[in-house]
Amino acid sequence: MVPPDDIFGTIPTWLGVYALAGLGFSAAAFVLYRRVVRLVLLGKDANRFDRPVQRLIGAIPLILGQSRVVQSVSLRDRAGLAHFFIFWGFLSFTFSYVVFIFGDSAWDQFSVTLFTDSGVRVFAVYIDALAVVFLGVLGWAVVRRWVVTPRRLSFDLTQKWESAIILALIALLMVLTMLSEVFYVAAGGDGPTTAAPISSAIGEALRDSGMSEGIAKALHELSWWTHLALILGFAVYIPISKHMHLIGAPVAFVMRDLSPMGTLSTPMDLETAETFGSARVRDFTTKELLDGYACAVCGRCTDACPANVSGKLLSPMHIAQGVKDHLIEASPVLLNGDGEEESVIPSIGEEALWDCLTCGACEQVCPAGVEHIDLILGMRRNLVMEQASMPESAAGALMSLEQRGHPWRGTQYTRTDWAEGLDVPTIADHPEADVLFWVGCTAALEKRSQSVARSMVSVLKRAGVNFAILGAEETCTGDPARRMGNEYLYQVMAQQNIETLNRYNVKKIVAICPHCFNNIKNEYPHLGGNYEVVHYTQFVSELIDQGKIKPVVELATTVAYHDSCYLGRHNGIYDEPRKIIEAIPGANLSEMEQRRERGFCCGAGGGHLWTEESRGRRVNHLRTEQFLETGADTVGVSCPYCLQMFDEGMGSVEGADGKSVKDLLEILDESLGTPSS
């Protein structure tokens, strides 16, 4: 866009532009600091600026590649494609505004160094066409938000007026971009910018229709200066609107947790902590406070949340927004000492916090880098450790963990009853074992799951693996205690296990349970427990590849594999379980629609295997119905939690007669045939 003549014929245009830009961007920076930066810095240091090169490089596909948004396109969310286009269009226009403000306004001095005439022509054509396409996409966005509204856009009706403002501002920017060129051409202007095909055609049509040069010139000046004012106004508006995510999301991605998704933050120092968990602003980390501003209020997290889908109160989006709203409301107290800050938990609701399954579906789909799990469990921790407020079933499971070393109240089994007659060595009797088989509470103490542990022993023996178990010395890893909010109990149990493992100089651990696997592999190192930890699907898949075991018995069955959240989404293990199924003669792998990264939780995570659901339908019933839609004979699992939930679902959901749920170890063991004596 070519600028108008000097102001009043005497003041250089570039001087006026620079003065306005300085005022506008200074105001935007002031608002950003006052409303966002200084408030976020009230939180605890998140220690998220280590490994800067890894953070920056890893953030590139998330920010510039919009990888989370692009993934949603494959799931029939066409809005993801539109968002990808709008994002890159926004970058293109941002560049054009840099030229507009700092080059275009001083055309004679700087334009030659910025572009050649050919470059200006190409860019003018691109921006002109982009503005028209942008207007079309905005029209589609209006229809989608106010006419054909998808579920996820109905979660926060209060944001619709703000969306209307943003869409109107963007539309005006596009229109003014074109009008400035239209009236420049209509006034008889020439030069490389007139290569813009659509705007130039309209301008020539106006000139040919008799529009005077004076009127065209005045309209050119009006549209040009209005465009500049709108750009600067937009810059000031961003920090006070939900479009703060334009700034917050890139920072959130750079500050992302570099650990696997299933890893909770470094354990608190229980001896020095002034409070336990999070309830007030200074209890949260700077990353957790930033996440509220990074949130795009798009509803993708809530739409993906199994708890919300099944009719419960939890909405991950509203959790992040609730903490941000509380931060803003409490800022006078925190900054000026005007009163006493209240806890944020009552406004969010205890029930919603206890609904969380920690499955990570919300974080997987979030296009803004918000980390919901730590945020939610921090408040759950406050409820348990500060207020002793928890569901009765959760209290019972925690009491059993404290008194008996496992969460299975009422079980009469010991840690080794499942191994009776199998001649399974303990590490105490066989300290030279190469591998420690970590059985876990569920496989050892719950009757249905004990067959999985026996199948594991069968596979290990057939492969000639030198292994042992802890036996009576094994206790719960502490994972359920930690996910249910009792950090103290978790650390006590974890330290006990670490001492035991270190005493036997254990190097490699194979776990049946993804929760045990995740906890020992990713969280025990925080407490000094460093071991090579693999899940059985990884270990067994490698045994098959090496030819140490070979399935030979044909099983004429179709298996629909269910991805455990803590194995798949939290630790990225998707292929190995499927390789096991594919290695079994006669077994056909079937896939559920929601699988791999977008798998649907069985409903047991976050301690929910031992706690009752608050309302709505049972999550495991929804997942069982999704399995039945495949028409497969068997749902294959690789987690004892999932085995429990599907087992209950098969007995409760209509149409499950004749269907079965089996762990992959059970299927594999059956296909290995009768062991040779």
Residue type, 493: M
The fold for domain 550-671 equals Rossmann fold (3.40.50)
Tokens 């499955």 belong to 359
Delimit the domains of the chain by residue range.
13-41+78-240, 281-385, 396-544, 550-671
- Tell which residue, 575, 589, 677, has the closest CA to residue 633: 589
pLDDT tens readout for residues 529-540: 999 999 999 999
CATH 3.40.50 applies to domain 396-544 = yes
SS3 category, 225: helix
Report d(CA 423, CA 451) in Å as an integer.
Answer: 15
- Tell which residue, 632, 542, 627, 541, has the closest CA to residue 582: 541
Q: Is residue 211 a contact partner of residue 186, using CB atoms and an 8 Å limit? A: yes
The separation between CA 392 and the C-alpha centre of its own chain, rounded to angstroms, equals 30
Q: Which of left, alpha, beta for 388 (phi over 0: left; psi -120 to 50: alpha)?
A: left
Q: Is residue 667 a contact partner of residue 584, using CB atoms and an 8 Å limit? A: yes
Report d(CA 658, CA 116) in Å as an integer.
Answer: 73
DSSP state of 588: E
What tokens were used for 342? Answer: 């209240």
The confidence score (pLDDT) of residue 425 equals 95
Backbone torsions φ then ψ of 514, nearest 5 degrees: -60, -30
Tokens 């938000």 belong to 145
- Tell which residue, 44, 41, 37, 36, has the closest CA to residue 282: 44
| Widest distance between CA atoms in the chain | 103
Report d(CA 661, CA 22) in Å as an integer.
Answer: 66
Q: Is residue 559 a contact partner of residue 659, using CB atoms and an 8 Å limit? A: no
Tokens 């009853």 belong to 417
The confidence score (pLDDT) of residue 7 equals 59
Same fold yes or no, 281-385 and 396-544: no
pTM of structure: 0.87
pLDDT tens readout for residues 490-532: 999 999 999 999 999 999 999 999 999 999 999 999 999 999 9
Tokens 């950090």 belong to 487
The confidence score (pLDDT) of residue 85 equals 72
How far lies 165's CA from each of 159, 223, 237, 292, in Å?
10, 20, 10, 20
CATH class of 281-385: mainly alpha
Backbone torsions φ then ψ of 148, nearest 5 degrees: -110, 80
Ranges of the chain with pLDDT below 70: 1-14, 70-83, 97, 99-116, 144-146, 148-161, 675-677
